[in-house]
Each structure stands twice: as structure tokens, then as C-alpha cells.
Amino acid sequence: MRLRAGELIGREVTDAAGHALGRVEDLRAERDEAGRYRVCELIVGRRALAGRLGYGETLRIGPPFSWVLHALRRHEHPIPWEQVAALDDDGRVRLHPEAPRSPEDRSP
């Protein structure tokens, strides 16, 4: 399936039972051997401002700005693409039944 990032960003994400988990605020992609980009994670939450500014989870920044980045990222929850079951006709992203229900259920 071929999609553009804009076709995913803004979609509501639900678990298999239809409970809303948030909206796709951003995504992470990796380049494959053929040079094509593939989505590897959806970033779900209310805001993903820190990620959009390039301050991803691998960035280490010290005081005094670390608390600002933590505050900006506290509502971001990555969902691996493998946990996506379907892109429904109503515009929702539905997860597999075995996918964790909430961010707290996800282990690092």
C-alpha cells in the first residue's frame, strides 16, 4: 500500500474495540534497501511539537532545557507500524487486538 504522510497525519487511532487512543501527530520512517521510505512508527498524542522540531527520543540535552523537551514530549506515544491492523474507510487507524490498549501498557 502506498500512502503519503499527509494521508496518515491527523487520523484518529483506535484499539481493536474502537476506543480512541489519540490522533496521528507525526510519523517516523526508515529508508529500505531500494531507497524507498517506509513508515516504522506512528506518533500518537495531542501534540508532537518536540519531534517536529527535531528533538527525538535519542537526543540528549541537558539543563536548563531538558524539562522543556520533557513537557513537550509527555503526550507523545509511539506505535510501531506492525501494530496497525487497518486503515478504515472512515479515516481511522485501527490497531491489532494484541496491541497494547494504552501507552502505559507498552513496555520500553
pLDDT tens figures, 9-42: 889 999 999 998 888 988 889 999 999 999 999 9
Ranges of each domain in the chain? 5-95
Q: What is the pLDDT, as a whole number, of residue 41?
A: 93
Amino acid at 48: A
Instruction: For 77-107, write each residue's pLDDT tens digit.
Output: 889 999 999 999 888 999 999 887 655 554 4
pTM across the whole model = 0.69
Q: List phi, psi (to 5°) of 99.
A: -70, 145
Distance between CA 100 and CA 65 in Å, rounded? 31
In the CATH hierarchy, which fold is given to the domain comprising 5-95?
A: SH3 type barrels. (2.30.30)
